[in-house]
Amino acid sequence: MAQNILMMGPLPAAQMQQLEENYSVLKLWQEPDPEASLNQVREKVTGIVGVFDRNVSGKLIRALPNLEIIANYAVGYDNIDIQAAREQGVVVTNTPGVSADDIADLTLGMVLGVLRRMVEGDIYVRTGQWAKRGAMPLGRSVRGRTMGIVGMGRVGKAIARRAEAFGMEVVYFGPRKKPEVPYSYYHNLQKMAEDCDILTVACSYSPATHQLIDANILKLLGKNGVLINIARGRVVNEQDLVDALESGVIAGAGLDVFENEPDVPSALCRLDNVVLQPHQASATVESSTAEAQLVVDNLRSYFEKAEVLTPV
C-alpha cells in the first residue's frame, strides 16, 4: 500500500514526479481548505515534506497519529518543532552540504556588493547619474581584510576558501575549535568582532544563537566593519542592526535573510550601504535539484530500509 505524504510546498518537477509515482501525495499549499483536506487523511499520513518557509508545528505533528518521518527541503530545520517530533518518535531529515558552494558564492558576492558598491553602481548608471554627476564615490578593497566567520560548518568552510582566494585572512568562532580547520579560532565572539573587518554569519539557528549578533557585537565590529548574514534572520537582532547602520556604527551589511521574511524593514530598504537578497543563497537550479533529490532519497530509504541518509 502506498505511503501517504503531506507536502507543505513544492519541489522541482522531476522530484515531484518521483514522489507522485511512488506515494499518495497531498499538496497542502494548493488545497482551497487545507484544514478540511488534512482532516480527511490525518490517520493515513506517514510522511511530511517540509519547506523552509512553512512551519511544521507541534500541533500539526501531534495531529498526525501515524506520522513517521519529516523530510525537510532545506539545510536549516528551524521551521520544524524538533522537540514535538522527538516526543512523537518522528524522524527528521534535512539537506546539508549540497548547496554549500552556492551559498558561499552568494556570500562573497554580497561582500563585493557592499565593499565595491556594486548595487549602488548599477543604480547610478541606470538613473543617468554617471553622465550627470561624474564618477561615483570610491568603494573599498576586499584584499587584505579579515573575515570572521560565525559557524565553521560546511558552508563556513566553503566561504573561507573563497575569502582566502580574494586575499582575505580568515578567522572563526563556534562552540569548539575544529582540529581539521587551519584558521585561527576564537572562543570569544566579542573579541573576534573587534578584530575582524567582515563578520559573516553562517551558523545554524537555535535558542543558543537567537539574536547572537546584537548592538554590542556590532559596536565592536566598528565603523569600518561589514556584517554579512546568510544564516537565519533571527540570529541577528534586526532592530540593533538597523540602528547601527543608520547611525554609522558599522559601515554596511549584506543580508539574505530577515527576521520576519518576506517582510523586510522599510528602514533597511532605504539604506544605500546595504545589499538585500530574497533568501536565495542556495536558490540555483543545481542546488535546488540536488536538495530535492535528497528529500526523495531520504523518504525512499526510510520506507524501504528504515534508515535515512541525513538525519537531524
Cell of 110: 554580497
End-to-end CA distance of the chain: 27
Instruction: Let me know how long the chain is.
Output: 312
Q: Considering only CA atoms, which of 55, 2, 66 is closest in space to residue 28?
A: 55
Distance, in Å, from the CA atom of 230 to the CA atom of 237, rounded to the nearest integer, reads: 14
Q: Give me the phi and psi of 88, to 5 degrees please.
A: -90, 0
Give CA separation, 231 vs 61, 85, 133, 160, 280, in Å: 25, 23, 38, 15, 11
What crossing angle do the helices spanning 154-165 and 100-115 adopt, rounded to 10°?
50
Q: Name the residues annotated as catalytic.
A: 232, 261, 279
DSSP string, 218-277: HHHH-TT-EEEE-S-GGGB-HHHHHHHHHHTSSSEEEES--TBTTB--HHHHH-TTEEE-
Amino acid at 276: L
